[in-house]
Amino acid sequence: MVEDFERCYLAVQSRDPRFDGWFYTAVTSTHIYCRPSCPAQTPMRQNVRFYPSAAAAQLAGFRACKRCRPDASPGSPEWNSRADVAARAMRLIGDGLVDREGVNGLAQRLGYSVRQLERVLQNEIGAGPISIARSQRAQTARILIETTTLAMTDVAFAAGFSSVRQFNDTVHAVYASSPTMLRARAKSPRTIAEASTAIELRLAFRQPLCPDNLFGHLAATAVPGVEEVRGQTYRRTLRLAHGPGIVELTPTPEYVSCRAVLSDMRDLTATIARSRWLLDLDADPVAIDRQLSVDPSLAPVVTKAPGRRVPRSVDGAEMALRAVLGQQVSTTAAQTHAGRLVQRHGEPISDRGGGLTHLFPLPSALTHADLAMPTNRRATFSALVMALQRGELDLGPGSDRDETMAALTTIPGVGPWTRQVIAMRALGDPNAFPESDLGVRHAAEQLGLPSTSAALVDRSQIWRPWRAYAVQYLWSVDEHRINDWPPKPLRPSRRTKETDD
């Protein structure tokens, strides 16, 4: 259980939504667990227990509240920002690895024994990997039950359960309702989708959220065929374990609307996890902005548009390859290079009524890619492709950041700017800082900050551990189309990368 009882209880008394996902409130008199912001009457102190995860609360015998839906709250910011084994395990479980490869596969991926891993997760999260995966399956099952017309047998196996009996028992234990009852209740508030391959859901986040740089950056750097923007919706293809998929993301003031078109429903869990990671939806913007506002030069920029997130990626290898393509060229030129690779080497997909045509190519398909770029950059790209193909470079959700950054230093032509961009967007390092980026340095000059790399790095120490978020605020100072949302008509890109790569 969470030991800081007083702080947690104050958050429950104030119904503060900022703490949703940080911990869960369990009430012994009702055997129900809630999110801290639950609108129900505040329970008495002697009846309250606090748990670090929904899985821990479920393991202790508590059921999910039907009013506040604690399983739909944003995830803990720690699991995305931390780099230790517990956080890496949580990211891999969130991506569905336990459902695909079991606990043994998770332990092998992390380089731990099953017993060591279970001990770490029990100490940190209050539950082992099986219980955490079970909690996640229950959430996926509820989404499928309430938003599709899939038969319950299909829902059970799509959510990752090994049997219908296990599915029924888990749903009843977590939600105190049978699957049939959950679907019956869902029919009145919403219309269940007729298409079995399309899922519509809402992705929660902590307020505030500024969509300008987040969706604007994704729109401005979109690779033709893989990504596109239609109105206020960002769309892209996904390479998933059981087949290709397409995800559509639209920001609203209260949530991000997500529509997923999947080849196989078993990929829903991974689709949700990658969409949340892409948009950095589990961040704690209040804590981040408070730290950045300590700097008097940056404070006005933060106050003007708080809640900026770091645009990440759905695939680390794809992001790394795109970072090399973007070395020392404009955003438009980088898009052109990536678009050509996609058309020549990407796998075609079907997108009825849309403009998405391909999956981004795997490293194995790019071994002999013909690139119209300088010789040195071509050599860097080829070396990166070979490192990814041989498994010498791990950029997945369970990667060890220190090992990955060390491996990147061995690739010729991958200098500080490229490494920091990869750390920021592929690895999710909240402290990554590409100080040589021309946009960052232009903004520093305008704000009266040091503009030389060494001096700017010294000044950035006050922004730790959120320097990647400071970059988003610095980029917002420079008028550029990555800050436009909804997108405006394209104009020539002015941003280039001043690097020593």
Q: Please state, in angstroms and rounded to a whole number, the distance separating the CA atoms of residues 325 and 323.
A: 5
Q: In whole numbers, what is the pLDDT of the chain averaged over residues?
A: 91
- Residues taking part in catalysis: 34, 437
- The torsion angles phi and psi of 327, rounded to 5 degrees, stand at -65, 125
Return the DSSP state at 463.
G
User: Is residue 426 one of the residues assigned to a domain?
Assistant: yes
73, 94, 126 - which closes a domain: 73
DSSP string, 258-281: EEEEESSGGGHHHHHHHHHHHHTT
Q: Is 64 in the same domain as 85? A: no
51, 73, 95 - which closes a domain: 73
Beta-sheet strands, E only, within 192-290: 198-203, 227-230, 233-240, 243-251, 256-262
User: Is residue 82 one of the residues assigned to a domain?
Assistant: yes
Residue 496 in this model has a pLDDT that exceeds 70: no
Residue type, 302: V
The CATH number linked to 59 is 3.40.10.10
User: Is residue 497 one of the residues assigned to a domain?
Assistant: no
DSSP string, 48-93: EEEESSHHHHHHTT-EE-TTT-GGGSPPPHHHHH--SHHHHHHHHH
User: Is residue 64 one of the residues assigned to a domain?
Assistant: yes
Q: Which of 430, 426, 419 is nearest to 292 (CA)?
A: 430
Say what percent of the chain tops pLDDT 70: 93
User: Is residue 290 one of the residues assigned to a domain?
Assistant: no
Q: Please state, in angstroms and rounded to a whole number, the distance separating the CA atoms of residues 138 and 154.
A: 14
List of long-range contacts for 99-106, beta carbons under 8 Å, 24+ apart: 99/133, 99/137, 99/160, 99/266, 99/269, 100/241, 103/129, 103/130
Placement of tokens 């369990």 in the chain: 26
The CATH number linked to 478 is 1.10.340.30
Residue 500 in this model has a pLDDT that exceeds 60: no
73, 91, 107 - which closes a domain: 73
Greater confidence (192 vs 386) lies with 386
The CATH number linked to 161 is 1.10.10.60
User: Is residue 291 one of the residues assigned to a domain?
Assistant: no
Q: Is 49 in the same domain as 85? A: no
Q: Is 102 in the same domain as 128? A: yes
Q: Which domain holds residue 29?
A: 5-73
Q: Is 82 in the same domain as 9? A: no
Confidence label for 494 from pLDDT (cuts 50, 70 and 90): very low
Residue type, 155: V
Q: Is 61 in the same domain as 38? A: yes
Q: Please state, in angstroms and rounded to a whole number, the distance separating the CA atoms of residues 434 and 50.
A: 39
Q: Which of 118, 123, 136 is nearest to 54 (CA)?
A: 136
Confidence label for 371 from pLDDT (cuts 50, 70 and 90): confident
Residue 152 in this model has a pLDDT that exceeds 70: yes
Q: What average pLDDT does this structure show over 224-237?
A: 96
Say what percent of the chain tops pLDDT 90: 79
Q: Please state, in angstroms and rounded to a whole number, the distance separating the CA atoms of residues 463 and 298.
A: 10
3 state SS of 190: coil
pLDDT of residue 482: 65
User: Is residue 160 one of the residues assigned to a domain?
Assistant: yes
Residue 441 in this model has a pLDDT that exceeds 80: yes
Q: Is 136 in the same domain as 213? A: no
Q: Is 356 in the same domain as 459? A: yes
Total count of domains within the chain? 4
The region, left, alpha or beta by phi > 0 then psi within -120 to 50, assigned to residue 414 is beta
The answer to whether the beta carbons of residues 202 and 208 sit under 8 Å apart is no
The Cβ-side half-sphere exposure at 104, using a 13 Å CA radius, reads: 1
Placement of tokens 């015998």 in the chain: 61
pLDDT of residue 148: 84
Q: Please state, in angstroms and rounded to a whole number, the distance separating the CA atoms of residues 404 and 323.
A: 15
Q: Please state, in angstroms and rounded to a whole number, the distance separating the CA atoms of residues 481 and 484.
A: 5
CB atoms within 10 A of CB 436: 19
> What is the pairing mode between strands 233-240 and 243-251?
antiparallel
Q: Is 331 in the same domain as 429? A: yes
Q: Please state, in angstroms and rounded to a whole number, the distance separating the CA atoms of residues 390 and 363.
A: 10
Q: What average pLDDT does this structure show over 155-161?
A: 91
Q: Is 323 in the same domain as 407? A: yes
Q: Is 183 in the same domain as 242? A: no
Q: Which of 101, 129, 134, 133 is nearest to 117 (CA)?
A: 129
Q: Is 348 in the same domain as 479? A: yes
Residue 145 in tokens = 């039950």
Q: What tens digit of pLDDT does each residue of 270-310 get?
A: 999 999 999 999 999 999 999 999 999 999 999 999 999 99
Residue 62 in tokens = 């508590």
